[in-house]
Structure 1
Amino acid sequence: MIKLVLTGLWVCAVTLGSVYLSIYLATAPVGEAGAENRNTELVPGEMITVPVISDGKVAGYFLTRISFTIDKEKVVDGSLPLNALVTDELFTLLIGNKVIDIANTSAFDLNGFRTQVKQDLNKRLGGDVITEVLVEQLDYLSKDDTRNNSPDAKKLNKKPVTIVEGAAVN
């Protein structure tokens, strides 16, 4: 009987010790890198379709999803229309400035594109609000491909030309 009681006390002590140690390690103080992450917030992007206009006609579409991180301390009221600003910026870059040459997509500079989006958005927001731009998807789908993907099409479905392939952001 004494062996059973001592075994039970030993199991309780080991269990309490392991629970205490796991909680202590899980709530350890955050270092220098964690302090920076507490001030940023991920703003997930929406799927945006940007038409490509050539000779006055729609030639195709850019399918994009761009997320970004913002500095919470620099956001004044917390209700910036960030998705609307990103949509406008993408229309400006992809249609107005034509930063992507459809004929030569391999020459596309992803880092330059991210930097340009970040700089332009921060300029509009009046400070360094955007800390990082994350490109989740950037594809091109020609007008002929969209017709071929319709339910009435008798041709095989074609996939869009992937310009940038990124990881999904949650």
Structure 2
Amino acid sequence: MIRIVIIGLWICAVALGSLYFAVQQNSATAAVTSHDAQPLDDGKTEVFSVPIIIDGAVQGYVVTQLIYTIDSAVKASVKTPVSFFINDEVFRQFYGHYSDVKEVEAVKFEDVKQAIIDGVNARFPEPLVKDLLVQQFNYISSKEIRDQNTKGISRG
């Protein structure tokens, strides 16, 4: 009987000790993260497409939607929606630099992402965009679009 009571007390002591150390560790981590945290805001661009032109003809479209995180303090000074600037920079990047890419997997998105962030941030006195994440990123060929549009129409 004494043995069972001692085992019960031991289990309670271990459980309480574990709980105490877990709470101490969590509060120390929360104090560090709240001290260094910057106020961030997020949003997403509309789904939009950039034409891929090769030899003067549209070969397809890059269809994309991005999620962005921005500095809340800098955003307060901007009157225009940030997604407009991001869409413009994505269009400039793909239309100007990647207009011959038909294979999406050939695009190194880390390089493109950094170029977009740098291009948008260059338009503001303080860096605004902190990060970009991909919601959607596809290449659709003109042939696929034509086939989709003529589906169900009999040729004759």
Structure 1 residues 146 and 46: CA distance shift in structure 2, 3 A = same
Report the residue type matching 1:112 in the other structure.
D
Alpha carbons of 1:54 and 1:100: their partners in 2 closer, same or farther (altered >3 Å)? closer
After superposition, what is the alpha-carbon deviation per residue over 1:115-136, rounded to whole angstroms, capped at 9, x for unaligned? 1111111111232111111111
- 1:66-112 residue CA offsets vs partner (Å, 9 max, x unmatched): 1111101123424333121111111111111117722x543321211
Which residue matches 1:41? 41
Which residue type is aligned with residue 96 of structure 1? G
Is the Cα contact below 8 Å between 2:52 and 2:99 reproduced in 1?
A: no
Pair 1:110-2:100 in alignment: no
Q: AA paired with 1:137?
A: Q
- Letter paired with 1:111: E
Equivalents in 2 of 1:85, 1:36: separation in Å? 28
Letter in 2 for 1:71: D
Amino acid at match of 2:77: D
> Do structure 1's residue 153 and structure 2's residue 148 form an aligned pair?
no
Unaligned runs of 5+ in 1: 1-27, 156-170
Q: How does 1:1-170 map to 2 (within 5 A)?
A: 30-34=30-34, 39-98=39-98, 101-102=101-102, 104-150=103-149, 152-154=150-152
Per-residue deviation at 1:52?
A: 1.2
User: In the alignment, is the contact (CA less than 8 A) between 1:52 and 1:95 conserved in 2?
Assistant: yes
Tell me if structure 2 keeps the 8 A contact 1:94–1:100.
no
Task: State the AA in 1 paired with 2:55.
Answer: D
Cα deviation, 1:26-72, whole Å, max 9, x if unaligned, reads xx895333455560001122101111122222211111001111101
**Contact 1:42/1:67, CA 8 A, preserved across alignment:** yes
Distance change >3 Å, CA 110–CA 63, structure 1 → 2: same
Q: Which amino acid aligns with 1:133?
A: L
Between the two proteins, the alignment pairs up a number of residues equal to: 126
More helix per residue: 1 or 2? 2
Matched-pair contact (CA < 8 Å) for 1:66–1:133: yes
* Corresponding letter in the other structure for 1:144: K
Q: 1: CA distance between counterparts of 2:39 and 2:126?
A: 15
Q: Which amino acid aligns with 2:95?
A: I
Identical pairs, percent: 21
Equivalent position amino acid for 1:153 in 2: K
CA distance in 2, matches of 1:47, 1:145: 18
What TM-score, normalized by structure 1, do the two folds share? 0.64
Please list every run of 5 or more consecutive structure 2 residues that lacks an aligned counterpart in the other structure. Answer: 1-26
Between the aligned partners of 2:122 and 2:47, the Cα distance in structure 1 is 23
